[in-house]
Chains A and B, each alone.
Chain A
Amino acid sequence: MIFILIFLLGLSLLAAISRDFKGRELLALAMPIGLGTTTFIMFLLDRLTHSITLGAVTGAVAALVVVFGLLRLYSDKKHNALPWQRKFTRPDMSWLTLVWIVLAGMTAYLAWGITEKCLYWPPAEFDTILGYDLLSKAVAHEHVITNSMLTNPNIVNGCGPRMLYPPLLTLCNAICYMDGMESPRLINSLFFISWIFIMYQLLRRFVGSTGAMLFTFLTVIVPEMFAHASFSLTNLPCAIYTSIAVLSFVIWYEQRREGFFYLSFIAVIFGIWTRSEAVLFAGGIMAVLLYVAVRERKFKYLLIYATSVVPFLIWNAFLKAYVPRDQAGPFIKAAFYDPGKMKQVISTAWEIMGSYNIYGLTFYIGIAGLIIVFALNVGVNFSKQKNKVLLGAFVLWLLVWFVAGASFFTIGLFMLLMLAGSYLNDDKWEFLLIFFLAYGAYTLVFYQMKEDGTLFSSGGWMQSGYKRGLFCYAPLILFIFITSKWVSYAFNVLDEQMVLFRKRTS
């Protein structure tokens, strides 16, 4: 019952926010948005009444469903488009191709298999047991976040930072326990299944059905991420929210559909409410919004988006006020330059990204995609002076690369070149900027960590934390490729050749 209400909450909230979303987008997004919103309700209940009970959560969620539903009906009435006034349209099947059926069939089989696995096994991951799920049990049993686990110094220090992550997954899991379930694994399945539909639906805003399905399939089968679809950890939910945030933002920027701006805003808040590192995406998006603000003299969007970091501040203030900690942070607080350490960070990063066992071919496809898109942008409009300069710069970069190898400098130059290619040819430069800023900052965070034997060791910060943190970036690098105007055009042409059921025009 509670999960149906949570689904309706997400659905009604999105429907109330904007009329820009299609019905199938609303259905795909409803569960993650509903879950995120419910965790904020639970946090508010904790702060206001010090009592997170199933009855109170159900009541609050149901009340909000009614409020958001009425808001949408009011908006429908204003637009003379109440549900019973709308004309019936015949379903359009022009998107259906055999390629789609083959890829969707395989994706569905994999999703079914991993969901079976997820729901069968109880939580057994170290980070879950020594972290968020222990806290979830305590929230469900004691009805407060500041419970006997979070206020116990022995438990908090024994768990390390795991228990102190923002509370989205903790509170989601607590709903399962409050509802009488023995295991909270349903949450992971709900996230993963929704994500498959979300990816496909959001990609369809840029590309036809075959391209969207192919890249949804390639994202689903990223080996490490697929394995995490059956783990009760925060990394995958965080990646889901951040990829929704970035893709929706790109839709807003490219198509100026207001609803997607607010979807991006909400998704990044939920990402930050899952793992603080999602704040890097808020930073990347705000850099683009700063550009919009300066060029268009419109500061509204930048100011709105800046408030997305408020949950990050609230959670840190909450921890400071209530949680006894005696851990020294893992970061070096002063700025420094150590080329040896930088090289080691870069080589370890590539070791992880390039591992066939961990990320499969994802980053190979992504990087090849960046170069192909650059080549297409430069090659198709080669008569333009700017593209000749870009080609010259690329040749120069290749020379520097062969001489100096991978370094902060050469990788930074590569990013700049790719960005310049997409900006000068108006091919979703904002997507690249967000990706490069967030990814660059994410990698530098690890460079800034203390090397006390735990940074590069097996199971250490990079081999474990960095590896899983890349979940946010693996889908995005694939999406940058498929949403490029040239690649999406190619797939659309292919789709045209495969139309089995033509769209009815009358």
Chain B
Amino acid sequence: MKPADKPKKAAPAGAKPRPGKPASGGGAGFKAILFNLAGAAAAGLLIMFLFQHHEPTSPTDTYVNSGYDWLLNTMLENNLKTIEQYPDKTLQERYVLKWGPGEILYIDSVRKLTPENAIVMIPPHTVLSQVGFKSCGDLPWVTYFLYPRQVVYGDSVNSPLYAKADYVMSVNGWGLDKSPTPVTAPQPFMVLPLKK
């Protein structure tokens, strides 16, 4: 049969009364209630089977329902607990809550201490890795958190932004010498203006 010849199939609109059966609009029969109870019990059992929690005895342990167990009893439950515990955290605080108090705290300080149109010089990759900064070595990562500020690395001397930088992020003494005025009380982390 050609597809064009296909009769339009009526869209299923739920269970329809069979011919000869009462379609009164009245309530359910005993049989229907029984089927519903049995069906609901089966659905409940399915849900219990899928989301049954197993305590893994080793990291490689997997069960048939591992993924479903994880999504409800680990991922969702833990997240909902955290949300309940810290409902009023700011966006920046939520990053710290998620990633821990690492680079994001320093980058947030740079954001707070510089205007939106600033060009910020951050230490070269070698310095960043010495102090254990991993993500800051990715220009798009650091730009994401500082945008609309522009970012240039301290060793990108050929970049047109290098000469135009307004601020420097000083880490472990790197960048102190770039400040136009002598730094009287150096700190391990500072944001210094590069123009007087």
Interface positions of A (Cβ within 8 A of B): 92, 94-95, 97-99, 101-103, 106, 110, 113-114, 116-117, 120-122, 124, 129-131, 133-134, 137-138, 141-142, 148-149, 154-155, 158-159, 163, 182-183, 204-210, 214, 221-224, 226-227, 253-257, 292, 295-296, 298, 355-361, 426, 488, 492, 494-505
User: What A residues does B31 contact at CB under 8 A?
Assistant: 497
Smallest CB–CB gap between B74 and chain A, Å? 11
User: What A residues does B196 contact at CB under 8 A?
Assistant: none
Report which of A117, A130, A253, A488 forms a contact with B144, defined as CB distance below 8 A: A130
Chain B residues touching A, majority SS: helix
Besides A94-B13, A222-B67, 18 more A-B contacts (Cβ < 8 Å) are: A99-B39, A106-B47, A113-B76, A129-B141, A133-B144, A142-B148, A154-B139, A163-B140, A205-B12, A214-B43, A224-B67, A254-B9, A255-B8, A356-B65, A360-B65, A360-B68, A498-B35, A498-B36
Known: A253-B3, A505-B23. A498 touches B15 (CB 8 A): yes
Beta-carbon contact of B32 and A498 below 8 Å:
yes
Known: A122-B91, A129-B140, A360-B68. A99 touches B42 (CB 8 A): yes
Beta-carbon contact of B25 and A502 below 8 Å:
yes
User: What A residues does B80 contact at CB under 8 A?
Assistant: 113, 116-117
CA A116 to CA B3, docked complex, whole Å: 46
Interface status of B109 (Cβ within 8 A of chain A): no
CA A221 to CA B51, docked complex, whole Å: 10
10 contacts between A and B (CB under 8 A): A110-B72, A113-B76, A122-B91, A131-B140, A149-B147, A223-B68, A255-B11, A495-B14, A498-B36, A502-B17
User: What A residues does B47 contact at CB under 8 A?
Assistant: 102-103, 106
Beta-carbon contact of B42 and A503 below 8 Å:
no
Interface status of B184 (Cβ within 8 A of chain A): no
Known: A98-B36, A207-B12. A159 touches B24 (CB 8 A): no
Report which of A114, A121, A498 forms a contact with B76, defined as CB distance below 8 A: A114
CA A113 to CA B78, docked complex, whole Å: 11
Q: Which of B94-102, B121-129, B174-182, B185-193 contacts A (4 or more CB under 8 A)?
A: B94-102
Chain A residues touching B, majority SS: helix
Smallest CB–CB gap between B42 and chain A, Å? 7
Beta-carbon contact of B3 and A99 below 8 Å:
no
Beta-carbon contact of A134 and B144 below 8 Å:
yes
Beta-carbon contact of A130 and B138 below 8 Å:
yes
Beta-carbon contact of B32 and A296 below 8 Å:
no
Smallest CB–CB gap between A301 and chain B, Å? 11
Beta-carbon contact of B16 and A488 below 8 Å:
no
CA A113 to CA B72, docked complex, whole Å: 9
Known: A130-B144, A296-B4. A503 touches B14 (CB 8 A): yes
Smallest CB–CB gap between B133 and chain A, Å? 15
